[in-house]
């Protein structure tokens, strides 16, 4: 009876051994490096985490990281801190189908672009006026001065126009970023939908992911992709592949 149980145990062990070995060999290695979004320089001491079971995290001391993961769908996050303040952030989704090496480089963007801006940051961007009445009086005085200057300049322009009998027309769009875009032909009308896309990119500092752009506009994903292709063909933007999406960069057309 004892020998019979031993044989049965050995048979079960031999049956599950191939499955266990296959599971052990099916894990994949996910590794890569972390970079700062603007300079593309490696970011050291970045905290990298993945939502595996159990979860894993590592400090990329030299700007590189590595995880061993079984097949599945995961999200890898990267956070870079200075003086206990989150400065840069990145997030990438990855699907592991089988064993092998997966290289996922992480491009970290400023934390405020992910909705992490603080009240202190807002105060620095738009400080509160301490004396609203004084500011209002100064504004009214400035408006009066500029009105007089405007009238004088307008009279000078009208006189010059009447004397030379010549009119020049220059169609251009000037943005606060001091980037000037001109249609390729003088009589070309720049489409309003393309203008809307350019405005969003400029408001985002001249750089935005296609996913974020899609969330800020009313058009479908296919329409946004076509508009970006048209803007890229006209030389207004350029896009490059990043992970599973695209990063759109405004080109300088001065």
What band does 168 get if pLDDT is binned at 50, 70 and 90? very low
Q: How far is CA 85 from CA 37, 80, 89, 120, 166, in A?
A: 18, 8, 11, 12, 59
Which pLDDT belongs to residue 48? Answer: 96
Which pLDDT belongs to residue 3? Answer: 64
Q: Is the pLDDT of residue 117 over 50?
A: no
Rounded CA-CA distance 156/245 in Å is 53
Domain of 192, CATH number, reads: 1.10.10.10
Contacts of 65 (CB under 8 A, 6+ apart): 31, 32, 33, 34, 46, 48, 58
Does the residue 42 lie in any domain? yes
Highest mean pLDDT among 40-54, 112-126, 210-224 belongs to 40-54
Q: Domain check: are 141 and 203 in the same one?
A: no
**Domain residues for 220?**
173-250
Q: Domain check: are 29 and 118 in the same one?
A: yes
Average pLDDT value for residue range 243-253: 83
Does the residue 72 lie in any domain? yes
Six token digits for residue 128? 């509160």
Which pLDDT belongs to residue 158? Answer: 78
Q: Is the pLDDT of residue 85 over 80?
A: yes
Each residue of 133-166: pLDDT tens digit?
445 555 566 666 777 887 878 787 777 776 665 4
Interior angle at CA 212, CA 101 and CA 95, nearest 5: 20
What total number of domains does the chain contain?
A: 3
Q: Which ranges of the chain would DSSP assign to H, the alpha helix?
A: 2-25, 119-125, 132-164, 192-203, 210-215, 221-234
Pairing of strands 28-36, 100-103: parallel
Does the residue 6 lie in any domain? no
Q: What is the mean pLDDT of the chain?
A: 76
What band does 242 get if pLDDT is binned at 50, 70 and 90? confident
Which pLDDT belongs to residue 217? Answer: 86
Pick from 103, 123, 143: which residue ends a domain?
Answer: 123
What band does 84 get if pLDDT is binned at 50, 70 and 90? confident
Interior angle at CA 207, CA 205 and CA 210, nearest 5: 130
Q: Is 176 helix (H, G, I), strand (E, B) or coil?
A: coil
């Amino acid at each position: 009876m004892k020998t019979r149980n031993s044989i049965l145990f050995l048979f079960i062990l031999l049956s599950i051994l191939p499955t266990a070995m296959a599971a052990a060999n099916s894990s994949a290695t996910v590794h890569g490096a972390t970079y700062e979004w603007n300079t593309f320089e490696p970011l050291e001491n970045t905290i990298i985490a993945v939502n595996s079971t159990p979860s894993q995290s590592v400090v990329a001391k030299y700007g590189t990281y590595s995880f061993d993961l079984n097949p599945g769908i995961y999200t890898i996050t990267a956070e870079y801190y200075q003086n206990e303040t989150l400065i840069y952030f990145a997030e990438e989704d990855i699907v592991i189908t089988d064993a092998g090496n997966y290289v996922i480089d992480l491009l970290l963007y400023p934390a405020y672009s992910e909705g992490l801006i603080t009240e202190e940051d807002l105060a620095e961007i738009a400080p509160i006026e301490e004396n609203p009445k004084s500011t209002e009086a100064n504004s009214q005085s400035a408006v009066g001065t500029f009105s007089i200057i405007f009238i004088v300049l307008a009279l000078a322009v009208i006189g010059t126009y009447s004397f030379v009998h010549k009119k020049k027309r220059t169609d251009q769009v000037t943005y606060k970023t001091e980037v000037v875009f001109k249609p390729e032909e003088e009589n070309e009308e720049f489409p309003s939908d393309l203008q809307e896309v350019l405005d969003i990119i400029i408001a985002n500092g001249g750089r935005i992911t296609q996913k974020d752009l899609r969330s800020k506009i009313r058009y479908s994903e296919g329409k946004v992709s076509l508009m970006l292709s048209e803007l890229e063909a006209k030389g207004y933007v350029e896009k490059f592949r990043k992970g599973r999406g695209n990063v759109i960069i405004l080109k300088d057309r001065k």
